Structure 1
């Protein structure tokens, strides 16, 4: 039995969230969902204890409520932040497992919110880094340091090209070098899952972008070759606290 007296929301209240959860279980009220959302999660990666406490009930509602699914996904995307309640997150393991299955089923319907659901599923799989940074590859840029000469390299994967370059704020991206996408067989664990899922669901542009993101780039300065995802992850990977 959940002890809500220990589960404060963003206002420090311990009774309002259970009341709101009971209301949305009875009716799909937009105003109630909005209040519930901002009581559980603030911007900039902050989730309150009541957010994790509410997660199992949100997952139970998610099959019939898009708002519940979206709010549960938002909570999980923030799980890498400085919330200090990993114990509550651990208590949600069964609910998160069920949520992963639900999200995967939703992806297979090829919904309008495909990318958002894809990112939520990455978070549910504890892939918080990629959940936070992955885009739709229409105009995506990743900035990292070359592992050999330390020069800052811009990686572009989008409609304007797929290349590594040196960014000049007056001239734009100069000294461009074409990226070398990974073949499906070369993709590592999470990269392979991401690619296979996008292919399965008919999202060719997303699959192609993932292949490039997990492929190799040439440093325009020293001509060394490196794996983009490895270098970007090592520089930006969030750590659960």
Structure 2
């Protein structure tokens, strides 16, 4: 049971969030949901003790409320930040397991909000960097440093093409090189799980994009070949 006297929100209040939770538990109150959203997750992606204290109650509502599922997922996607609430996050371990199972069931239903739920699940799986940047591969760009010559390489994956390039702000993406997608059998770890989940749920475009994201790119400057996800991962994985 949360000690709400210590669970302040983004305004420093300790009494407002439990009142709002009671309102949304009684009925689907849009005004209360809106206020909960900005009290629990500040616009600059900050979360607070009240955010994690509210998580069990949000997850208990999430099977029947898209607002609850979305807010719980947003809190989880900010859990890698410097919030000073690691002890509260640890106390939510059972709730996070429950939320993972709920999200997985939701994804299996192939919902309209598939990508959002997929990103929430990535955060639950502690893949915070992918949760923050993964798109639907219609218009995705990733910036990575070549591990050999350190030049910044633009990786494009989408309807416009699959290539590495040097981005020139006057000329656009120049000296393009085709990406080399990973085979399904060649994927491992997070990439394999992401790909298998997307395929299971009939998300073919997402699954195809993941093979490129976890595939290889050629540096346009020095012609060395590197694994895209490894370089992005090493540069962006949060320190836990």
Bucket of the pairwise TM-score, normalised by the shorter protein: over 0.9
Match runs of 1:58-97 below 5 Å: 58-97=58-97
Residue in 2 that maps onto 1:20: 20
Distance in 1, Cα, partners of 2:237 & 2:192: 19
Give CA deviations for 1:191-224 in whole Å, capped at 9, x if unaligned: 0010001101111110010000000001111111
> How many angstroms apart in 2 are the aligned matches of 1:165 and 1:235?
19
Name segments (4+ residues, structure 1) moved above 6 Å.
Answer: none
Q: Which residue of 2 aligns with 1:4?
A: 4
Using the alignment, how far apart are the partners of 1:7 and 1:196 within structure 2?
39
Structure 1, unpaired ranges of 5+: none
CA distance in 1, matches of 2:62, 2:178: 42
1:98 aligns with 98
Question: 1:185: how far off?
Answer: 1.3
Matches within 5 A, 1:137-216: 137-216=137-216
- How far off its partner does 1:58 sit? 0.5
Counterpart in the other structure of 1:30? 30
Structure 1 residue 81, shift from structure 2 partner: 1.1
Q: Secondary structure at the match of 1:144?
A: strand
CA RMSD of aligned residues (A): 0.8
Equivalent pair of 1:45/1:79 in contact (CA under 8 Å): no
User: What secondary structure is seen at the aligned counterpart in 2 of 1:37?
Assistant: helix
Distance 1:10 1:113 in 2: 27
Please list the CA deviations of residues 55-81 of structure 1 after superposition, one character each: whole Å capped at 9, or x if unmatched. 001101111111110100010001011
- SS of alignment partner, residue 154 of structure 2: strand
1:130 aligned onto 2:134: no
**Contact 1:164 1:177 (C-alpha < 8 Å) held by counterparts:** yes
TM-score normalised according to structure 1 size: 0.98
Count of residue correspondences: 240
After TM superposition, give the deviation of residue 44 of structure 1 in Å: 2.1
CA distance in 1, matches of 2:177, 2:25: 54
CA deviation after TM superposition for structure 1 residue 110, in Å: 0.9
Note the alpha carbon deviations across 1:168-190, whole angstroms, 9 max, x for none: 11221111111010111111211
- In 2, Cα distance between equivalents of 1:205 and 1:181: 13
- Report what 1:49 is aligned to: 49
Distance in structure 2 (CA, Å) of the matches to 1:208 and 1:229? 14
Equivalent residues of 1:218, 1:226 under 8 A apart: yes
For 2:104 and 2:159, the matched residues in 1 are separated by 27
**C-alpha distance in 1 between matches for 2:60 and 2:236:** 33
SS in 2 for 1:47: coil
Give the Cα–Cα distance (whole angstroms) in 2 for the partners of residues 79 and 172 of structure 1.
36
